[in-house]
Amino acid sequence: MQDLTRLLGSTMGILPQLQEKLVMGATAALIRYFDLLADDSHHGRYKMRSFSLADFMRLDTAVVGALNLLPNPAEAQQHRASSVYGLLNHCKTAMGSRLLSAWIKQPLLDLAQISKRHDIVESFVEDNELREGLRDVCLRRVGDVRKQVKKLVQGRPSIKDM
């Protein structure tokens, strides 16, 4: 509880989560794994939010295959556009491709969240200059942040990664 208070700055907003044994066990494991308490600069910089699995539709392998949502790994290189993912994936970064894959595998059920995503997509559809500027200029310069953070956490970043 003390460690969590240090990292969050306060535990007032997360009191319901503190009562769940599995939540606290998983949180403690993450704090230890990432060694978050070793550096004082982490104190007060984190937020704790809960996600409900009920907000996402769970698709099993049979459904994903029947709907042809993701490419067959054996045919992935040959027929890129043979799946929904292949048709939609015009991402400039690996992060975008992973996010698209996650969204296809776990579609939202919450109407408010779906509307938020639609509003964001609509703004990019309507503003060509913004969309092309972000895609062609900004996103080309962004490295794979997920991989870079993983290397930093593991303590083996290269100069190129930095």
pLDDT of residue 109: 92
Q: What is the pLDDT of residue 80?
A: 66
pLDDT of 138 reads 79
- Least Cα distance to 10 among 52, 45, 40 occurs for 45
The CA distances from residue 45 to 26, 37, 108, 150, in Å, are 19, 12, 28, 19
Tokens found for residue 51: 């996600």
The span from the CA of 5 to the CA of 157, in Å, is 30
Kindly indicate the confidence band of residue 118, based on its pLDDT and cuts at 50, 70 and 90.
Answer: very high
pLDDT in tens, 26-64: 888 888 887 888 878 778 878 777 777 788 888 888 998
* pLDDT recorded at residue 96: 87
pTM more than 0.75? no
